[in-house]
């Protein structure tokens, strides 16, 4: 399926060819198009698929400000809701942090990623933007050329190619941009050795807080999505298929780990979506290779433990839009030269906090003495500090909502 702007551009050329119609690619496309930069988006899947792919939900205040600045926040202003509390549950009881009153005094906006993607796509098409669905980028064979090409498989399955001045790789961790990086490009990868079963339940949220439960069976998480849908996470054995557990078993584990008997029942409802997430971090460095620039998950993969991925994608897309506009509309390449270093500063800060969260939320595997005992003791100490130290709470709040 192809949708084109009113003034036809030469076939298969654009100053900026954007790979991928996720939050990164669509925000970039909106901003470039609005700035008068000729661009086109190539998306491997269908419009229906990108508009229904449920993933993130917690938007950072910086993300909301970016969308508001560019007049793209009407949907989230209408249907999103503010969120500023989290609750930790352990063997020692529970405690809450009203992070909206701590740190910089900021909070999240809960708005499902598929709704944000739908809003961005609608704005882009309404403004006459070009997007080609079911068009898979295969490679960018010559990223260091001043006229790079993108080889593609078009909607009819035929090989084709696009010509650009810049290619923005916003096509996620398995996309063509990453596959086209020159040999020897540094990729900093860490597998945290932990797996979550991510669930969407057709049930209203059970707490007015993000719930983090630390239990001998493993971690469980509770996050509101909409008044009728709740996201849950259960730590899960690596390699287990998503459909291995029955709904009864899932509900039993959620009740057990969230300690529903002590702290109040959970609303149960049908599980409408399941996904297995191996907690991994992966950063490409640098993010610019000649005419190929990476943003979003293509630039850095971050575990969902601190809800940073979509927020980084938005931040990088805005930086990249400014840099490409300066270059193409004003002949000033300074911001493009700085893009990688600037984005990586935010990426590493988010990776650091995400790793801190992973260590807080999960026990180290192993026998009850030695290393795992050491880790467990540190974990308890960290939680006690978070419960009692205002300074620690301020640090947590600032990093929790920040990107």
Active site residues: 83, 212, 304, 308, 400
How many whole angstroms separate alpha carbon 28 and alpha carbon 42? 13
Q: How far is the CB of 391 from ligand RFL (least distance, A)?
A: 26
Partners of 200 in the β-ladder: 231, 273
Whether 152 contacts 159, CB under 8 Å: yes
Q: Out of 61, 172, 211, 218, which residue is the one contacting ligand RFL (CB under 6 A)?
A: 172
Q: Which tokens belong to 49?
A: 């698929």
CB closer to ligand RFL out of 200 and 266:
200
- 398 CB-near residues (< 8 Å, 6+ apart): 102, 103, 104
Q: How far is the CB of 390 from ligand RFL (least distance, A)?
A: 26
Q: Is 277 in the site for ligand RFL (CB under 6 A)?
A: yes
- Hunting for tokens 């984005």 — which residue is that? 343
Other C-beta atoms within 10 Å of 307: how many? Answer: 23
Q: Which of 186, 183, 177 is nearest to 284 (CA)?
A: 186
CB closer to ligand RFL out of 103 and 221:
221
Q: What are phi and psi of 390, to 5 degrees?
A: -60, -35
Q: Out of 38, 106, 253, 297, which residue is the one contacting ligand RFL (CB under 6 A)?
A: 297
Of 18-26, 82-90, 211-219, 331-339, the segment contacting ligand RFL by CB under 6 A is 18-26
Strands 93-97 and 218-226: unpaired
Q: Out of 14, 16, 17, 24, which residue is the one contacting ligand RFL (CB under 6 A)?
A: 24
Q: Is 318 in the site for ligand RFL (CB under 6 A)?
A: no
Partners of 301 in the β-ladder: 282
Other C-beta atoms within 10 Å of 303: how many? Answer: 24
How many whole angstroms separate alpha carbon 128 and alpha carbon 140? 26
Q: Is 363 in the site for ligand RFL (CB under 6 A)?
A: no
Q: Out of 87, 134, 136, 253, which residue is the one contacting ligand RFL (CB under 6 A)?
A: 136
Q: Write down the H helix ranges in 70-179.
A: 74-79, 113-126, 176-179
Q: How far is the CB of 305 from ligand RFL (least distance, A)?
A: 9
Q: Is 148 in the site for ligand RFL (CB under 6 A)?
A: no
How many whole angstroms separate alpha carbon 112 and alpha carbon 53? 9
Q: Is 347 in the site for ligand RFL (CB under 6 A)?
A: no
Site residues for ligand RFL, 173-232, by CB under 6 A, read 175-176, 198
Q: Is 346 in the site for ligand RFL (CB under 6 A)?
A: no
Give SS3 for 166.
strand
Of 23-31, 181-189, 249-257, 384-392, the segment contacting ligand RFL by CB under 6 A is 23-31
Whether 112 contacts 54, CB under 8 Å: yes
Of 300-308, 344-352, 366-374, 378-386, the segment contacting ligand RFL by CB under 6 A is 300-308
Site residues for ligand RFL, 45-64, by CB under 6 A, read 45, 50, 55-58
Q: Is 113 in the site for ligand RFL (CB under 6 A)?
A: yes
Q: Is 23 in the site for ligand RFL (CB under 6 A)?
A: yes
Q: Out of 12, 25, 235, 250, which residue is the one contacting ligand RFL (CB under 6 A)?
A: 25
Of 39-47, 213-221, 266-274, 329-337, the segment contacting ligand RFL by CB under 6 A is 39-47
CB closer to ligand RFL out of 259 and 287:
287
DSSP letter (8 states) at residue 312:
H
Give SS3 for 32.
helix
Q: Which of 184, 107, 167 is nearest to 398 (CA)?
A: 107
Q: Residues in the site for ligand RFL, rule: CB under 6 A?
A: 19-25, 42-45, 50, 55-58, 113, 136-137, 170-172, 175-176, 198, 275, 277, 296-297, 304, 307-311, 313
């Amino acid at each position: 399926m192809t949708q084109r702007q009113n003034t036809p551009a030469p076939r298969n050329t654009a100053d900026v060819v954007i790979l991928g119609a996720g939050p990164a690619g669509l925000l970039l496309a909106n901003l470039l198009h609005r700035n008068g930069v000729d661009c086109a988006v190539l998306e491997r899947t269908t419009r229906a698929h990108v508009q229904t792919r449920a993933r993130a939900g917690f938007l950072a205040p910086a993300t909301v400000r970016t969308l508001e600045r560019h007049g793209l926040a009407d949907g989230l202003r209408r249907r999103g809701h503010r969120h500023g509390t989290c609750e930790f549950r352990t063997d020692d009881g529970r405690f809450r942090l009203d992070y909206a009153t701590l740190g910089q005094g900021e909070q999240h906006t809960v708005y499902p990623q598929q709704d944000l993607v739908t809003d961005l796509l609608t704005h882009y098409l309404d403004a006459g933007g070009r997007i080609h669905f079911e068009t898979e980028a295969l490679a960018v064979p010559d990223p260091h050329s001043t006229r790079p090409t993108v080889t593609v498989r078009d909607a009819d399955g035929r090989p084709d190619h696009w010509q650009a001045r810049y290619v923005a790789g916003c096509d996620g961790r398995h996309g063509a941009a990453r596959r086209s990086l020159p040999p020897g490009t540094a990729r900093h990868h860490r597998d945290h050795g932990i797996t979550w079963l991510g669930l969407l339940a057709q049930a209203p949220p059970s707490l007015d807080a993000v719930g983090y439960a630390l239990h001998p069976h493993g971690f469980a998480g509770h996050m509101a999505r909409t008044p009728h849908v709740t996201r849950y996470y259960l730590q899960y054995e690596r390699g287990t298929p998503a459909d291995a557990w029955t709904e009864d078993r899932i509900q039993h584990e959620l009740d057990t780990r969230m300690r529903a008997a002590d702290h109040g029942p959970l609303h149960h409802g049908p599980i409408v979506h399941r996904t297995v997430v191996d907690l991994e971090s992966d950063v490409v460095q640098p993010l610019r290779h000649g005419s190929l620039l990476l943003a979003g998950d293509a630039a850095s993969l971050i575990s969902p433990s601190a809800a940073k991925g979509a927020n980084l994608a938005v931040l990088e897309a805005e930086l990249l839009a400014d840099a490409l506009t300066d270059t193409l509309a004003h002949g000033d390449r300074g911001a493009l030269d700085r893009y990688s270093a600037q984005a990586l500063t935010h990426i590493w800060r988010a990776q650091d906090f995400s790793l801190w969260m992973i260590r807080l939320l999960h026990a180290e595997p192993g026998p009850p003495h030695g290393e795992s005992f050491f880790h467990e003791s540190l974990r308890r100490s960290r939680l006690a500090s978070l419960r009692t130290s205002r300074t620690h709470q301020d640090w947590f709040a600032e990093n929790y909502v920040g990107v």
